Amino acid sequence: MQLPISFYGIKLIVVTIILIVVTRLLIYLLKKTWRKTQCKLAWMPISVVERRSNLSYDEFVREYASVGKPVIITDVIKDWKAMKKWTLDFFRSEFGSIEYAVKEDNTKNEGVMSIADYIDYITAGNSNRRLYMANFGIVSDYPELLKDYNDPIYFPNWLQRLPKKLLRKYDFDYPDIFIGHKGTSIGLHQDHYYGSAWLGMIKGRKQIVLFTPDQKEFLYDGKIDVLKPDLEKFPLYAKTNPVEVILETGEILYIPSGWWHHVKNIEVSIAIGSYLLNEWNSEIVFQSVFERSPIKGHLFPLVLEFPWLGKALFALGII
């Protein structure tokens, strides 16, 4: 009995699919091994954060990303539309009725304010409270703002491979806009899952204090005010090696994986920043996810390598 030709055609398709999947898995495992050998986050103490211009991508990787070293890049965002367009008046007129959470220094959310009311609070300048409107998400809610800036070439982000709804579910919906009153701050913290980040100044200036990840035991889980440290209450802080920078308008700061940082607005400011996941920090991020949830820790790298798998698992409600 002779089987229909269509049977052999289907068999060939199935075998081809299996070979493609197996090949992709082998490539994934080889790349994973390569990343472990190439990316050596040294976290060596530094006395100053270098300012660089005309920095090539290869130089950035070799001197900063692959070794876990911060850098300020001075000439990347000067031509962005946002540099002229994003003002307090712009956000008041275009998004004034939108409400977002506000924080007071390093506290939890203090409630919500409309953007118009928050800008009025900033411009009035007569309040004793120091409220900060951080994490104004734009990718899902206001994608038109994405046209006002360009992702810097230094910061490829694997998270962009995933569905926006999935990113939002797990608070990976970046970039964010930060609008801050003078004197407001985001307290000492690490970005979650040991991710790295970039922060670009559109208006104003920020004071930023940085610490290598290996100083964690001296930082009291971020409970200390590093600008006015109480050494009687937090004596181990005296052993730290902080590095302070002033981020000026038009500059971008790269914050490597795991670095602790305290950010304070020393002027009314508008900034944009994004969490990063790419080949230079992926292994440490995957390990951090695995330690919190072994199942998700196994799935996460596969979902990033095979985005169709992420879409399917999300549609089925598994992730």
How many structural domains compose the chain?
2
CATH number of the CATH domain containing 175: 2.60.120.650
DSSP 317: T
Question: Rounded to two decimals, what is the model's pTM?
Answer: 0.84
11 and 51 both lie in a single domain: no
20 and 49 both lie in a single domain: no
128 and 31 both lie in a single domain: no
Q: Please check whether residue 159 lies inside any domain of the structure.
A: yes
Predicted local confidence at residue 112, as pLDDT: 85
Predicted local confidence at residue 13, as pLDDT: 61
6 and 110 both lie in a single domain: no
Dist. CA 123–CA 308, nearest whole Å: 47
Percent of the chain residues past pLDDT 90, beyond the cut? 44
244 and 195 both lie in a single domain: yes
Predicted local confidence at residue 173, as pLDDT: 73
Q: Please check whether residue 300 lies inside any domain of the structure.
A: no
5 and 107 both lie in a single domain: no
Q: Please check whether residue 123 lies inside any domain of the structure.
A: yes
Whole domain around residue 10: which residue ranges? Answer: 1-38
Predicted local confidence at residue 73, as pLDDT: 97
Q: Please check whether residue 289 lies inside any domain of the structure.
A: no
Alpha helices in 103-233 (DSSP H): 115-124, 164-169
pLDDT digits (tens, 9 = 90+) for 168-204: 777 777 788 999 889 888 889 999 888 899 999 999 9
159 and 273 both lie in a single domain: yes
Predicted local confidence at residue 165, as pLDDT: 76
8 Å CB contact between 243 and 288:
no
Q: Please check whether residue 260 lies inside any domain of the structure.
A: yes
246 and 214 both lie in a single domain: yes
250 and 195 both lie in a single domain: yes
Q: Please check whether residue 308 lies inside any domain of the structure.
A: no
8 Å CB contact between 239 and 260:
no
25 and 150 both lie in a single domain: no
Give the total residue count for the chain.
319
Kindly give the parts of the chain with pLDDT less than 50: 1, 3
132 and 18 both lie in a single domain: no
236 and 274 both lie in a single domain: yes
Dist. CA 289–CA 244, nearest whole Å: 29
b/e map 186-216, b = 16+ CB within 10 Å = bbbebbebbbbbbbbbbbbbbbbbbbbbebe
Q: Please check whether residue 306 lies inside any domain of the structure.
A: no
Predicted local confidence at residue 1, as pLDDT: 47
Predicted local confidence at residue 50, as pLDDT: 97
In three-state form (DSSP H/G/I as H, E/B as E, the rest C), the secondary structure along 111-148 is EEEEHHHHHHHHHHCCCCCCEEEEEEECCCCCHHHHHH
Q: Please check whether residue 307 lies inside any domain of the structure.
A: no
Assigned token pair, 277 = 């996941």
Return the beta strands (E) in 19-75 as ranges: 51-52, 71-73
